[in-house]
């Protein structure tokens, strides 16, 4: 069981923290005792205060002047791990299935809990498979560079798509996706 959290607090599933830290280790962002300190004794089935995830993120943002591309890569690596070593293969068979999985924040709601005003949402607003276009609206507290990586990684993992582009420059909460 994870560390008990206070009522009304934003909490994140232990597997998400473990996945984030493991992605940082896999990408050689952190190593050795620093990595062990980040992960600590995380129970992958426990729930932890969201601040625990922010502690790991701070290691990345402190170490890199331009952390955006690094956080995007961490998001991608997290989803590749989720797909290949977690439940991903049972949930999505094609890259576009990952987008369907976001309908109504289904995927997001499985890893974050708390008051609605803190949790936010990660919703598929639009999908045209024939044109290869989609839009996700995110009001989550997660870093948007990392979320862009989550989308790319989740869609890339099944290996059936040749092209995936995700942009959120005009509005950081709106992810415009093109794929083929």
Q: What is the pLDDT of residues 105-133, one digit of tens each?
A: 677 877 899 998 898 988 999 999 999 99
Does 18 or 104 have the greater pLDDT score?
Answer: 18
Residue that the structure tokens 């205060």 belong to = 49
pLDDT of residue 11: 95
Q: Per-residue DSSP letters for 16-53?
A: HHHHHHHHHHHTTSS-HHHHHHHHSS--TTSEEEHHHH
Mean pLDDT of 152-157: 96
Residue that the structure tokens 């290996």 belong to = 159
Between CA 155 and CA 161 the distance in angstroms is 8
Phi–psi pair at 151, nearest 5 degrees: -65, -50
Mean pLDDT for the chain overall: 87
Between CA 166 and CA 175 the distance in angstroms is 6
Residue 162 has pLDDT above 90, yes or no: yes
pLDDT of residue 4: 45
Radius of gyration in angstroms for the set of CA atoms belonging to the chain, rounded to a whole number: 16
């Amino acid at each position: 069981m994870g560390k008990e959290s206070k009522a009304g607090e934003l909490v994140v599933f232990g597997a998400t923290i473990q996945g984030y830290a493991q992605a940082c280790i896999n990408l050689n962002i952190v190593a050795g005792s620093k990595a062990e300190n980040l992960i600590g004794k995380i129970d992958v089935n426990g729930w932890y205060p969201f601040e625990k995830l922010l502690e790991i993120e701070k290691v990345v943002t402190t170490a890199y002047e331009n952390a955006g591309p690094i956080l995007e890569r961490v998001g991608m690596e997290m989803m590749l791990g989720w797909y290949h070593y977690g439940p991903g293969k049972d949930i999505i068979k094609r890259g576009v299935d990952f987008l369907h999985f976001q309908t109504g924040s289904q995927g997001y709601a499985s890893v974050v809990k708390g008051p609605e005003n803190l949790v936010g949402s990660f919703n598929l607003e639009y999908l045209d498979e024939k044109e290869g276009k989609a839009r996700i609206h995110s009001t989550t507290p997660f870093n948007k560079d990392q979320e862009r990586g989550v989308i790319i990684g989740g869609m890339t993992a099944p290996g059936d798509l040749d092209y995936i582009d995700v942009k959120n420059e005009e509005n950081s909460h709106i992810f415009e996706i093109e794929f083929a």
